[in-house]
Amino acid sequence: MSTNLTDIKSALQQDRFRSQMRAFADWKAELTQTIKDYQSWLETHQLGSPEIDLRIYDALQALNTDKLTIAFVAEFSRGKSELINAIFFADYGRRLLPSDAGRTTMCPTELLYDQEAGQSYIRLLPIETRLSDISLSDLKAETSYWTTLSFDVDSPEKMATTFQEVVKTKRVPYEEAERLGLTNEEFHDDADTKNNSAGAETNTSKPKEVEIPYWRHAIISFPHPLLKQGLVVLDTPGLNALGSEPELTLNMLPSAQAILFILSADAGVTRSDLEMWKNHIKAFRNKQQSGLVAVLNKIDILWDEMKEPATIEASIQEQSKSSARMLGIDKSNVFPVSAQKALLAKIRNNKELLERSKLPALESLLAVEILPAKQRVIWDNIVAGLDQTIDNSYNPIASQLDDLKSQIDELTTMSGKSDDVVKHLLTKAKAQKAAYYESVKNFQASRRKLAMQAKIMFNTIGMETIDEMIAKTRKEMAGSWTTAGLKNGMAVFFDSARDAMQIAGRHSDQTYKVVLSIYEKFEKEHGLHINKPHPFPIKKYSDELDQLYIKAEAYRNSTMTTVTEQSFVVKNFFVSLVSHTRNVFSNANAHAENWLKELINPLVKQIQEKRERIDQHMTTLTKLKESKESLKDKMQELETQRRALDEQAKSLQKIRESLQHCTPPEIAASKSIPAPKQAVH
What would the pLDDT profile of 522-531 be if each residue is shown by its tens digit? 777 777 777 7
Helix pair angle (386-414, 579-626), 10° resolution: 10
pLDDT score of 325 more than 90 = yes
Question: Across residues 335-344, what is the average pLDDT?
Answer: 94
Model confidence pLDDT, tens digit, residues 241-258:
666 677 777 678 888 888
Task: Confirm if 116 and 206 have CB atoms less than 8 A apart.
Answer: no
Regarding predicted confidence, which is higher, 13 or 473?
Answer: 473
Q: Is the pLDDT of residue 13 over 70?
A: no
What average pLDDT score do residues 417-428 get? 71
Mean pLDDT of the residues in the chain = 80
Least confident of 120-124, 148-152, 250-254: 250-254
Is pLDDT at 568 greater than 80 in this prediction?
Answer: no
Residue 483: the pLDDT is: 62
The answer, yes or no, to whether residue 316 has pLDDT greater than 60, is yes
Residue 560: the pLDDT is: 60
d(CA 162, CA 141): 23
Ramachandran angles phi, psi of 35, nearest 5°: -65, -40
The DSSP code sequence of 551-620 is HHHHHHHSHHHHHS-HHHHHHHIIIIIIHHHHHHHHHHHHHHHHHHHHHHHHHHHHHHHHHHHHHHHHHH
Please determine, for residue 544, whether its predicted confidence score (pLDDT) is greater than 80. yes
Give pLDDT, residue 664: 82
Give the pLDDT band of residue 33 (cuts 50, 70, 90): very high
pLDDT greater at residue 659 or residue 481: 659
At 205 the pLDDT is 66
pLDDT exceeds cutoff 60 at 8: no
State the Cα–Cα distance between residues 607 and 437, nearest whole angstrom. 10
* pLDDT at position 472: 86
Q: How confident is the model at residue 419 (pLDDT cuts 50, 70, 90)?
A: low
Q: How far apart are the first and last CA of the chain?
A: 11
Q: Which amino acid is at 481?
A: W
Each residue of 595-653: pLDDT tens digit? 887 777 777 777 777 787 788 777 777 776 666 556 777 788 888 988 998 999 999 99
Output the pLDDT for position 368.
82
Question: Picking from 190-199, 352-361, 403-412, 536-545, which range would have the lowest pLDDT averaged per residue?
Answer: 190-199
Cα–Cα distance, 387 to 306 (Å, whole number): 63
Q: Confidence class of residue 201 from pLDDT cuts 50, 70 and 90? A: very low
Task: Give the span between the Cα atoms of 83 and 71, in whole angstroms.
Answer: 12
- Is 50 exceeded by the pLDDT of residue 7? no
Tell me, what's the pLDDT at 562?
Answer: 60
- Max mean pLDDT among 375-379, 420-424, 602-606 falls in 375-379
Range with lowest mean pLDDT among 214-223, 343-352, 460-469, 629-638: 629-638
Q: Summarize the confidence of residues 197-224 as an average pLDDT.
A: 76
Strand ranges for 51-208 from DSSP E: 68-74, 109-112, 121-126, 147-149, 169-173
Per-residue pLDDT band at 260 (split at 50, 70, 90): very high
| Per-range mean pLDDT, top range of 270-274, 380-384, 421-425, 428-432 | 270-274
Question: Per-residue pLDDT averaged across 495-511, rounded?
Answer: 87
Average pLDDT over residues 508-533: 80
**DSSP-based three-state secondary structure for 44:** helix
Whether the Cβ atoms of residue 352 and residue 319 lie closer than 8 Å to each other: no
577 falls in which pLDDT band (50, 70, 90)? confident
Measured in degrees and rounded to the nearest 5, phi and psi for residue 260 equal -100, 110
379 pLDDT band, cuts 50/70/90, is: confident
pLDDT of residue 91: 82
Asked which of 48-62, 304-318, 413-427, 644-658 is least confident by mean pLDDT, the reply is 413-427
> Region 411-428: what's the mean pLDDT?
71
pLDDT of residue 623: 72
Q: For residue range 95-121, list pLDDT tens digits in order.
A: 888 766 555 567 889 999 998 887 899
Distance CA(296)–CA(269), nearest Å, equals: 9
CA–CA–CA angle 415, 420, 422 (5° rounding): 50
- Give CA separation, 192 vs 104, 202, 205, 611, in Å: 21, 15, 10, 85
